[in-house]
Structure 1
Amino acid sequence: MNDLAVLVEKPKAETAIAELTAEGVYDDTRKVREHDGKTVELPVTEEPTGTDVLDVIEQVSPEPRLPDLEAHLRAQGWSEDELDLAPKSWAVIGSVILAQFEDCPRKEEVGEALLDLHGEADTILSRDGISGEHREPETTVVAGSGDTETIHTEHGTKYALDLRKVMFAPGNQQERARMGTIVEPGERVLDMFAGIGYFTLPMARAGAQVTAVERNPTAFQFLLENAVLNGVTENIDAYRVDCREIEMDQPVARVMMGYYDAHEYLDSALAALEPGGIVHMHETTPENRLWERPVGRLREAAETHGCRVEILDKRRVKSHSEGVWHVVVDARIE
C-alpha cells in the first residue's frame, strides 16, 4: 500500500502526531485532512507500531503539503513587505492554534493557511493581550470554527481549557514537565497559583500530594475538571481562595510559585514551608538584573523569617519581552 494514513479521533490528533513523529513514520509532505466529523487522517510512511490508532488506510488522492507558512502565503501572492508582518511562530494547543498577529495584514488568509498546515486544528485564535484582576486573555477568532474549548496534551498530562477564558503559556512546557520529574511520591506540595493545573497536574501524576490554590473561578473549574481527566483527584486538594489566606494543617516540603510577581507572596510561601523545604519562584527580570534581583528578593524575605537561602538552580524559561526574561529560582530554605 502507498500513501498510508492512520485514523485518530480529532482530540487525540496532536498527541498522535507527536508520537508518530517520534516513531519516525509521520509523513509531513502530505496534508492532514478530516476523515469524518470525529476523525482525521494523519499521513504516515509505514504502519506505526507504538502509536494507538483507530485504523490504517490508503489515502485516496492525497494532497501535498506546502512546507511552511511563507510558502502558503507566497502562493497567494503576498509581497515581501507583507510576509515580514506575518506571524513567525505559533502554538498548536489541542485543536486551537494560538498566534500573535499584531500588524499582520489579511489575517484571515494567514489563519486559513495555518489551518491548511495543521489539519489537526480547527480554530485560529489571535492572542491580543491580558487584562483584569484574574489575568484573563484578550483574544480574537481569526479563522476556523471558533471553538476554543479543547484538550491539550503534554508529556502525558491532559489540560482541558478554553483559550478565550484562561491563559496557557506554550513556552513553559519544559518547566511544567520538569516539575513532574523532581517531586517524590507522597511529597507534600503547595501550588500557590495553580491555574488550570499547569504545574499541579504533572506533580500530582508523579505521586505528590498537592494543595492547589487558585482564585480565578473559571480556571478553578478547569482545575477540578483536569484532576478528574488525569485521574489524580486523590492527590489534589483544591481551594478557590487567595493563596495568602490558605492555612496549611502542616508544613510542606515544596512551594510552587508560578506567577511573575511571586516575590510579593514570599512571606506566605516561607510560612508554609518546612525547614529545609524548597521554593520555586518565578519572575520576570531585566537582563541587566539577572540574577541579583530575584535572588536578592528571596534572601531578603528569608532573612525576615530568620532563615538562610541555598540557591539550588537558576533557569531562564523564555523571553518575556525585549530585554526581559521569565526566570525561575529554586532555593532550599533552612
Structure 2
Amino acid sequence: MYRRNTWGRTLTLDFFILWERLGDIVVLPVTSFKNPLWDSIGEDLWPVIAKSVNALRLARQGRVADTATRDSTLEILLGDNGWVDHRENRILYSFDATKCMFSWGNLSEKLRMGSLDCRDEIVVDLFAGIGYFVLPFLVRAKAKLVYACEWNPHAVEALRRNVQANSVSDRCIILEGDNRTTAPKGVADRVCLGLIPSSESSWATAVGALRSEGGMLHIHGNVVDSEESSWTKYVSESVGETARSQGHCWEVFIEHLERVKWYAPHIRHVVADVRCRHAQK
C-alpha cells in the first residue's frame, strides 16, 4: 500500500524511502537514488518506480537554492516539465515545481490564516510567492483586498495563474519587485511576513503598510527553541521602536506565538502575531 507522507516500499529493494505527492508528481527525497549507477539505468528505472507508486511523473527533491528568491532545484526524473496543479484545503496551486518551492510543512499555518474573518480587511502579503498565504486569505478568509508583493518572476507567473484559477483576481493586486519599494503604505489591517529564516529586513516596510490605527503583523522566523522568549521580546521591541520612528504612538505586543513545525533539530518555524494599536492613555 502506497500512501502520501507514509513509508512505502519501492520496487523490491531492501530499503524504504519516504515520498510525497505533488499533484500528479511523486517527489522522492533529495538523497534518493543519488549513486551514479541509478542514473545509468534511469531510462528503465524511473518508469518502473513511477508505476509502483501510481504516478504519471517522478521527481527528486533538491535543496532550496541559496539565492535571494529561494528557487526550487527539484529535478524531473520522468516527465516533460515541472508544471503541476496541486490542491490543498480546496485551493488550487499551479506552479512549476522545478522553479518554485512548495512546503507541505506549513499547512497548519495556511489553515490558521484561512480560518480568520478578513471580510472587511485589507491584507498585505510581503512575500507572496505562488500564493501560499494570499490564496487562503482570499478564498477562505474572504479578505476584502490583498496586495501581493513578490520579486521572483517564476512565482509571479504562478501567482497570476492562481488568483485567476481560484476566481479571486478581482480582490488581488500583484506588486512585482522588492517589497521595500513596491509595498503600499498606510492601507493594511493585516500584514503577512511569511519568509524564513527571517523577514527582519522588511519589518519597517510592514509597519509602514499598516493603517495609522495599527493592525496585525504575522512575522515568521526560525528560532532556537530555548530562545523563543528572547526572540519574541526582540520582535516586539524592534517593531515598537520602528513604529515610533515612523511617527506612530502604538502599543506593540505579541498576541500569540504559533509553533508551526520543527525546521531542524532544536530550531522551530514560528509565527509571532504582533498587535499594534493606539497606546492607552
- Flag whether TM exceeds 0.5 (same fold): yes
Q: Which residue of 2 aligns with 1:296?
A: 234
- CA contact 1:130–1:138 (8 Å) conserved in 2: yes
> Structure 1 residue 158 and structure 2 residue 92: aligned?
yes
Give CA-to-partner distance per residue, 1:138-161, whole Å, 9 cap, x none. Answer: 22234x325321110111110000
Q: Which residue of 1 aligns with 2:73?
A: 138
Structure 1 residue 252 and structure 2 residue 188: aligned?
A: yes
> Which of 280, 290, 304 is matched with 2:218 structurally?
280
- Percent of pairs identical after alignment? 25
Shift of 1:104: 5.1
Q: Return the index of the structure with the highest Cα Rg.
A: 1
Q: Relative to 1, partners in 2 of residues 1:77 and 1:234: Cα closer, same or farther, differing over 3 Å?
A: closer
Q: Which amino acid aligns with 2:276?
A: I
Alignment-derived partner of residue 69 in structure 1: 8
Work out whether residues 111 and 124 of structure 1, in 8 Å CA contact, stay in contact via their aligned partners in 2.
no
The whole-number CA distance in structure 2 between the counterparts of 1:294 and 1:90 is 35
TM-superposition CA deviations, 1:106-149 (whole Å, max 9, x none): 6669966763454255222322332322111122234x325321
Cα drift, residue 321 of structure 1: 1.6
How many residues were matched structurally? 260
Q: Structure 1 residues 122, 264: closer, same or farther in 2, change over 3 A?
A: same
Q: Deviations over 1:262-318 (max 9, x none)?
A: 122111101111224000000011122123214412322212323332222111211
How big is the shift at 1:257?
0.4
The whole-number CA distance in structure 2 between the counterparts of 1:324 and 1:157 is 29
Give the SS at the match of 2:167: coil
Provide the TM-score with structure 2 as the length reference.
Answer: 0.83
Match of 2:62 among 102, 107, 127: 127
Distance 2:207 2:137 in 1: 20
Aligned to 1:170, what secondary structure does the other structure show? coil
User: Given residue 133 of structure 1, which amino acid in structure 2 is its aligned partner?
Assistant: A
Structure 1: distance between partners of 2:185 and 2:207: 15
Residue 192 of structure 1, CA deviation:
0.3
The amino acid that maps onto 2:252 is V
Contact 1:124/1:146 (8 A) holds in 2: no
Between stretches 149-158 and 114-123, larger displacement belongs to 114-123
Q: CA deviation at 1:169?
A: 0.8
Q: When the two structures are superposed, what TM-score results if normalisation uses the length of structure 1?
A: 0.70
The verdict on how the C-alpha distance between 1:140 and 1:314 changes in structure 2, with shifts beyond 3 A counting, is same
Residue 43 of structure 1: aligned partner: none
- Of 315, 318, 321 in structure 1, the residue corresponding to residue 261 of structure 2 is 318
Cα deviation, 1:49-75, whole Å, max 9, x if unaligned, reads xxxxxxxxxxxxxxxxxx9523x45xx
Q: Is the 8 A contact 2:256 2:272 kept in 1?
A: yes
> Aligned partners of 2:79 and 2:224: how far apart in 1?
39
Cα distance in structure 2, aligned partners of 1:247 and 1:140: 33
Structure 2 residue 127 is the aligned partner of structure 1 residue 193: yes
For structure 2, which runs of at least 5 residues remain unmatched after alignment? Answer: 245-249
Distance 2:130 2:233 in 1: 28
SS at match of 2:110: helix
User: Is this contact kept in 2: 1:123–1:148, CA < 8 A?
Assistant: no
Q: Per the alignment, in what secondary structure is the counterpart of residue 138 of structure 1?
A: coil
1:271 aligns with 2:200: no
Structure-2 change in CA distance of 1:146 and 1:131 (3 Å): farther
Check whether the contact 1:69–1:114 (CA below 8 A) recurs between aligned residues. Answer: no
